[in-house]
Structure 1
Amino acid sequence: MTPTTPTTPAASATPTTPTTSPAGTTGAAPDLLYSEAEDDLRAAVRSLLTDRADVPAALVRAEAGDPYDSGLWTALAGGIGAAGLLIPEKLGGQGASHREAAVVLEELGRYVTAAPFLTGAVVATETLLACDTDSAAVAGLLESLATGGRVAVLAVPLATAPDAPLPTGTGPVAGVAEAARADVLLVLRD
């Protein structure tokens, strides 16, 4: 019997051609590691939340009907630029991707922080970006959302299933997340 030496996988074992996912789509494998920019964003958000997020105070605010700390949201939205992450640079935002938004959401969850980030900076922003951004009204609203100067939310009930039809401008809409503190309610219409 001859001794064998350990070998490393051949270079050809690493796919260099597009792969097919179980869903049948073709594309390169996603990079699941955080980039330096994402790590920097995480560090900035974590530092702010370490200094400013206070779970007992958040509970007191929630019981008093004040859903979030306005000062913390101002620092997160305007100081770090989290409110404008998904808004294109030409409209005053950061022009970042959903990966960066996910980094902010992870940190908000880590600190159990109530903030209108998901409802405003993600859902409402994506809704507006699906509209005509050349429209002065849409562009102006996106610019004010990017700075955190205004908070918009999409007027859909919390209980709406992902594949359910959305309400469109007729009839009441109950249970809209963050509606009490929103400056703008986005109502879908036909």
Structure 2
Amino acid sequence: MAWPGSWTDDEFESSQKELDKFLDEHLGPAPAIGDRLDAEYVMMPLWLPSAGLGAMNAQREREKLAKLRQLVNEFSKLWYSLHSDVRGEMELLGAAIEDANLPEHAMKLYLSRIHRLVGLIDEILPSARKVIDTAPRAGRRNLVNAGIARHLQAVWFERTGTHAPNSMTEAGCFAEFMIGAFNALRLPGNPRAALDSWRAFRATLPERE
């Protein structure tokens, strides 16, 4: 699996170990109780940049929903365009499939009710659209770096017991910590800009964390 930035699995694991070492050396080990935030937590935005912050590209998500609706409709039409003998054989074989992860006769039930898929999608699309309409906007922000800055603040608080500054201009030890963490991860970009981006993005959220 290729990680963001074209990292290999080995490179990802190496960066994780390096960051864990950095965190322990600069802030001490994670507490025995609590969330025990570590390098894996800090690095989550590398594979989940928007989801971790709740942000999304609204236009892109609407386009994907529209495409999904189109594909479901096409699938349903194609299924019922099959010769009845072909469709019947598929339903029969589907009913014989045993899968521990599915209820008994689930495949038979699914295959016999494909015609309901379009109606089901139409019922749930309004709720999906509402999620898109109310989600914070990603804009042009680098959500990977902003998310990592956010997580580094949380690690700082857990291991030092003091709230992390909201800006690197406030300084000293925290600024050094941020720069060191970004260097340990070999992240492109400016940690100061990442923290500023997270602060600006946080101000757009309906509820402050």
TM-score bucket of the superposed structures, by smaller chain: under 0.3
Which has more helix, going by share of residues?
2
**Which has the higher Rg, Structure 1 or Structure 2?**
2
Which has more strand, going by share of residues?
1
Q: TM-score scaled to structure 1, two decimals?
A: 0.23
RCO greater where, 1 or 2, for CA within 8 Å and sep 6 or more?
Answer: 2
Q: TM-score scaled to structure 2, two decimals?
A: 0.22
